[in-house]
Amino acid sequence: MSSGTGLIPLVVTILGLGVAAQVLADRLEIPSVLFLILAGILVGPEGLDIVGLEAFGGPEPLSAIVGLSVAIIIFEGAFHLKLSKLRQTPREAFRLITLGAGIALLGTAVVVRLALGASWELSFLIGALLIATGPTVITPILEVVPVRDRVAAALETEGIVNDVTAAILAVAIFEVVVGSGTQLQLLVTSFISRLGTGLLVGILTAGILWYLLNHVDLSPSNSVRNSRLIVLIGAIATYGIAEGIASEAGIAAVATAGILLGNVDMPYEDEIAAFKGDITLIVLSFVFISLATLLSFEDLLSLGLGGLIVVIAVVAVIRPVAVLLCTYGERFSFREQLFMGAVGPRGIIPASVATLFALELRASNPDAATLLVGTVFLVILTTVVLQGGFARHIAQTLKVLPMRVIIVGAGRVGRGLAERLEDRGENVILIDKDQEQVEQARNLGFTVHHGDGADIDVLRSAGAENAKIVAAATGDDDSNLLVAQLTNSNFDVDTVIARVNTPGNASAFEELGVRAIAADESIAQSMDNAIERPALSEWMTELGRTGDVQEIEVTADNLVGMQIEDLDTELPDGVLVALVSRDGDSQIPEPDLTLRRGDHLTFVGRRDAVHEAIERCHPELHG
Q: How far apart are CA 319 and CA 109, in angstroms?
A: 13
- The stretch 290-314 carries a mean pLDDT of 84
Comparing 345-354, 365-374, 426-435, which segment has the lowest mean pLDDT? 345-354
pLDDT tens, residue by residue, 197-222? 989 999 999 999 888 888 776 666 66
DSSP letter (8 states) at residue 317: I
What is the reported pLDDT for 276?
Answer: 64
pLDDT higher than 80, residue 370: yes
Q: How confident is the model at residue 24 (pLDDT cuts 50, 70, 90)?
A: confident
What is the reported pLDDT for 126?
Answer: 92
pLDDT higher than 50, residue 295: yes
Taking residue 30's Cβ as centre, other Cβ atoms within 10 Å add up to 22
pLDDT higher than 60, residue 231: yes
H or E segment at 516? Answer: strand 515-518
* Contact call for residues 596 and 563 (beta carbons, < 8 A): no
Taking residue 562's Cβ as centre, other Cβ atoms within 10 Å add up to 16
pLDDT higher than 50, residue 622: no
pLDDT higher than 60, residue 1: no
pLDDT tens, residue by residue, 394-442? 888 887 877 788 999 988 888 888 887 877 667 888 999 888 888 888 8
pTM: 0.68
What is the reported pLDDT for 93?
Answer: 87
pLDDT tens, residue by residue, 25-70? 777 767 677 788 788 888 878 788 777 667 666 666 777 777 788 7
The two beta strands, 467-472 and 495-500, are: parallel
What is the reported pLDDT for 92?
Answer: 87
Q: How far apart are CA 216 and CA 214, in angstroms?
A: 6
DSSP string, 373-431: HHHHHHHHHHHIIIIITTHHHHHHHHT--PPEEEEE--SHHHHHHHHHHHHTT-EEEEE
Highest mean pLDDT among 9-23, 67-81, 239-253, 504-518: 239-253
Of 237, 376, 393, which Cα lies nearest the Cα of 310? 376
- The stretch 290-305 carries a mean pLDDT of 78
What is the reported pLDDT for 287?
Answer: 74
pLDDT higher than 50, residue 5: no
pLDDT higher than 50, residue 3: no
pLDDT higher than 90, residue 338: yes
What is the reported pLDDT for 8?
Answer: 74
pLDDT higher than 50, residue 581: yes
Alpha helices in 130-148 (DSSP H): 135-144
- The stretch 21-28 carries a mean pLDDT of 78
What is the reported pLDDT for 237?
Answer: 92
Q: How confident is the model at residue 623 (pLDDT cuts 50, 70, 90)?
A: very low
DSSP string, 330-386: SSS-HHHHHHHHH-----HHHHHHHHHHHHHHTTT-HHHHHHHHHHHHHHHHHHIII
Comparing 239-243, 266-270, 481-485, which segment has the lowest mean pLDDT? 266-270
Q: What is the mean pLDDT of the chain?
A: 80
* More confidently predicted of 226 and 544: 226
Of 407, 323, 327, which Cα lies nearest the Cα of 88? 327
- CA angle, corner 27, sides to 391 and 495, nearest 5? 80
Backbone angles phi, psi at 181, to 5 degrees: 105, -175
What is the reported pLDDT for 113?
Answer: 94
Highest mean pLDDT among 78-87, 309-318, 368-377: 309-318
Q: Give percent of the chain with pLDDT exceeding 70.
A: 86
